[in-house]
Amino acid sequence: PAPAGRGAKGKAKADAGASTDGRGHIHGSFIPPGCDADDSYQDPSTSRNYEDSMVKGFWCPPRLRGRNESLIEAVNDWHFAMLNDANRNQFYFDAMSEVVKGKRVVDIGAGSGLLSLMAARQGASEVLAIEASRDMVDLAQLNIRRNGCENIRVIHDLSNNVKLSEADKADVIVSETLGALMLGEGMLDYLCDARRRLAKPGARIIPAGGAQYAMLICSPTLAMVSSVQSECCKGFDLSAIGSLQDTGNLFFTKQWGFRLNSLPDLVAMSERVPIVEVDFQLTERPQIPATKTFRLEALQDGIVHAVVASWEVWSDSQKTHRITTHPEDTRDEPWGFARDMQWGQGLQLVEDFDAASHSDRNRAPAPFVVKAGEVLMLTVRFSVPCRQTFQFTLRRAANVAAAATAAAAGAAGRR
């Protein structure tokens, strides 16, 4: 199953609420890989040094000795791809243009310092770069010196632990803490906290907003790597193995090692619908409901193999500049491979929800076969408490209506 953010080492800490404790910790939110700014967030699996993770007797590159293994894994997993997504970088450069000049800027999750450097180049009066990894802080400070920027200050901490005087508060907050799922790296939580405590009233937030989308797809090629295909098994019945197919968790396309737009037979089985939209200037976690249901219409006959989750974010309320993870938007672009290797899309396999309740435990899930024009109901369950990931279930509208009628009749009988 997909972790909350881009890589496998970020964690969402489970808790009962969306508030902060006395030390400013955001309950239930994502903790970035390599975070060593606060001992309360660390565990042995994410705070060990690189050399301690190696097979005994293997050579350790000297430049990596003593550095955080979790951070190194994340950098090699997606950070290089992120830095080389030229369209992403241009989005942030354009979004800050004519906004940051003469302003105090706070960069949350500063990483290499790229966005801070952009803000400084565009005339920000002062930039505060906040980064939770000591190794990355050291490298960001080196990058800042090499680029001759003297008005950038780097703080080693999680932004929710930082305190600023009124005079030091930001006119502009910028952050690229977007995951494969839009909110998967805790962006909403950290921005909510920052605009309350680290920003002046009316401060600009970049990006200003975004939407998470879902779409039903059909792809026999996808089915070839996610289910048992009888024609491939030399005449033997191995269908029982299909009973282990995971239709309950969301995965990332990157985890499966392919780009969704590379599937030669991918067909959209529904329109793409926004399942949640946020205004990073205003929205808070409790405003996202735990469950939402959407009415979809099958676009053609076939099997719904999966639900695809992708997102887009925009620079301002007019959506002047925009970036997306929709697979068709990255297909033929020079930066598209980097985008798909750092973010890609979320993917959840689909089975016939109503058939599942009375299916044999050792039988493969029933495929969800639809006819063009058939009305379907897609339910989204957001994770508790963080709302950073979600689960899909798909039903036929006719079955939902029949179940509701039966439940009403049963309730009337009990009265």
State mean pLDDT over 269-277.
98
Using one digit for the tens of pLDDT, what is the confidence trace for 308-351?
999 999 999 999 999 999 999 999 999 999 999 999 999 999 99
Percent of the chain with pLDDT over 70: 89
Confidence at residue 10, expressed as pLDDT on a 0 to 100 scale: 40
Active-site position among 69, 73, 131, 176: 176
Say how many Å lie between the first and final Cα of the chain, rounded. Answer: 44
Q: Which of 69, 73, 131, 185 is the catalytic position?
A: 185
Per-residue confidence (pLDDT) for residue 375, from 0 to 100: 98
Active site residue 185: yes
Q: How confident is the prediction for the chain on average, in pLDDT?
A: 91
pLDDT digits (tens, 9 = 90+) for 15-51: 333 445 444 557 778 888 889 887 665 555 567 999 9
Which pLDDT tens digit goes with each residue over 73-129? 999 999 999 999 999 999 999 999 989 999 999 999 999 999 999 999 999 999 999
Per-residue pLDDT tens for 48-78? 999 999 999 999 999 999 999 999 999 999 9
Q: Looking at residue 32, what is its pLDDT? A: 86
